[in-house]
Amino acid sequence: MSAPPSSSARSCSWVFGVLGAAGLTVSALACAALVRVLDFAWSEAPPSNAAWELEAPPPVYGPLPELTLRDERGRPVEPGQLQGQLALLPFAEAPLPFLRQVQERLEADGIPVRVVLASSRDATVLHPDWRPLRDSGRLLLLVDPRLQVRGVYDVNQGPSTSERVITDARCLRTCPPL
């Protein structure tokens, strides 16, 4: 037969029992705290359809080239008159109808934009990639308040051009700098 457990063995098993119960209690409390933290974090999360990417501002293509500029009535416009405002420069003989809608939508958002007709007799002042668009009357430039070209568009792309111009112009006002 086995000998009855000694009092030191009983006290040792009692201590292990208490430590085990305390460990389980601490683990249960830690899990409960984690669940509460995660529940709080998920309740503050944006909806699942929210964009998680930051929008990058449109690239800088360089300073506004030397162009002949005129307003919608045909009066000359000096490049310095565009400083401090957004400007759309279509290479066209007359204002493009869709630009009026773009201008109205941006102004409704508190983003004033000026439409100025552009032309250039010297083809070398424009980037070589832009010349075919200019020659066919399809080139549109977005110029920022510091007179930097920030958008180059093909006006024949239809509604996608309008949306891209609006997105880029809004971003120039709201996106963080690069």
Q: What is the pLDDT of residues 150-167, one digit of tens each?
A: 999 998 887 888 999 999
The helix (run of H) or strand (run of E) holding residue 3 is: none
The Cα 144–Cα 148 span in angstroms is: 5
Mean pLDDT of 127-139: 86
69-126: pLDDT as tens digits: 998 888 999 999 999 999 999 998 887 888 899 999 999 999 999 999 998 877 678 8
Amino acid letter, 77: V
* Confidence grade of residue 5 (pLDDT, cut at 50, 70, 90): low
For helices 97-108 and 159-174, angle between their N-to-C axes, nearest 10 degrees = 30
Tens digit of pLDDT for each residue in 53-82? 566 788 999 999 889 999 888 899 999 999
Rg (CA), the chain: 33
Instruction: Quote the pTM value.
Output: 0.67
DSSP character at residue 95: -
86 forms bridges with which residues in the sheet? Answer: 113
